Amino acid sequence: MNSFEYIEVCVRLSPFTEEMAEILTAELSELPFESFITEEPFLKCYIPKEEYRPADVKVVLSGYPAAVSFTAAMVQGQNWNKTWEQDFRPIVVDGKVTVKAKFNADVPRTRFNIWIDPQMAFGTGYHHTTYMMMQRMLGLEECIRGHSVVDMGCGTAILAILAAKMGARKVFAVDIDAVAARSAWGNCRWNKVGTRVETACGDASLLQMGTYDVLLANIHRNIILQDLPTYVRSLRRGGHLLLSGFFTADVPAIRQAAEALGLRLAGSSEREDWACVEFQK
């Protein structure tokens, strides 16, 4: 991938709200956009030059009156990466987990400390959903320790690394983006869990190679609904499925689909309109 061949789409929001920026981030994630930065009153979105289609962006934004206009321009990958890094904030979950990058200073150590090397092709995902996923993982420590875990749509592999540090016997981290998969591989080795985390580039069809005790998927609603049958087939009886990456309004549809496949709702949480649900087989 040539890191210099990227388009920055700058969406102006009026009135600007963090909620609207998050909604548009989720909607535009359906297109090949790979990273997002919020700088009031703009949402800045980054996409490989060859993947950019102005008409597709117009279709998405047409449903949101707050998106009053957008511009597109080429950006230098190196400068964009620096900007993204400055925007990254460490995550601390319940005083037990810390996720930080090499440029984050004065971050206290916790029980589980995760270092990531962010890549310009993607970030750490939505902070609210990442936070809730890690929070619920902490409540499943006995189910994770000594067992097998899958991190679907792993991105920088934060959840996979946490599972390994919590004592998982084996972790399978999968992302459809090749750059994400390479970054996951590097982050796992940086955190010294590379021998227990296998990374792969691909989709949910890769799960058919085995069965797992805990499956994590912090992905968009439509992908979850599409891949849910595969998740269920790959989950051992009594296993846990943690899902996030969608809004609270999406929970009924996801719950209905999960229960139709024989799963039982085991818990849920929300954080500023973002949701996380836990099912058991």
User: CA-to-CA distance for 90 and 101, rounded, in angstroms?
Assistant: 7
H helices within 97-220, ranges in order?
Answer: 127-138, 141-144, 158-165, 178-190
pLDDT digits (tens, 9 = 90+) for 205-261: 999 888 999 999 998 888 899 999 999 999 999 999 999 988 899 999 999 999 999
pLDDT at 120 over 50: no
Q: Is the pTM of this model over 0.85?
A: no
The mean of the pLDDT values for the chain is 87
pLDDT at 119 over 70: no
User: CA-to-CA distance for 175 and 5, rounded, in angstroms?
Assistant: 22
What is the number of other CB atoms lying within 10 angstroms of the CB of residue 28?
20
Nearest-10 Cα torsion for 5, 11, 12, 17: -120
Q: Could you please report the per-residue DSSP string of 90-104?
A: -EEETTTEEEEETT-
How many whole angstroms from its chain centre is CA 135?
14
- Domains within the chain, CATH numbers bracketed: 6-84 (3.30.70.1510), 126-280 (3.40.50.150)
Beta bridge partners of 71: 10
Taking alpha carbons only, the member of 236, 230, 227, 224 closest to residue 129 is: 224
Half-sphere exposure of 143 (CA within 13 A, CB side): 22
Contact 280, 264 (CB under 8 A): yes
How many whole angstroms from its chain centre is CA 268?
18
Phi-psi category of 273—alpha, beta or left, where left has phi over 0 and alpha has psi -120 to 50? left
Burial class (CB in 10 A: 0-12, 13-18, 19+), 2: exposed
pLDDT digits (tens, 9 = 90+) for 100-112: 877 777 778 899 9
User: CA-to-CA distance for 244 and 173, rounded, in angstroms?
Assistant: 16
Among 79-88, 110-119, 179-188, the minimum mean pLDDT is found in: 79-88
What is the number of other CB atoms lying within 10 angstroms of the CB of residue 34?
21
Percentage of the residues of the chain whose pLDDT score is greater than 70: 91
- Residue 117 pLDDT class (50, 70, 90 cuts): confident
Among 8-17, 52-61, 105-114, 251-260, the minimum mean pLDDT is found in: 105-114
∠ CA 220-37-17, rounded to 5°? 80
Beta bridge partners of 257: none
Length of the chain: 281
pLDDT of 221 reads 85
pLDDT of 264 reads 97
Among 28-32, 101-105, 241-245, 262-266, the minimum mean pLDDT is found in: 101-105
User: CA-to-CA distance for 170 and 198, rounded, in angstroms?
Assistant: 8
User: CA-to-CA distance for 78 and 255, rounded, in angstroms?
Assistant: 42
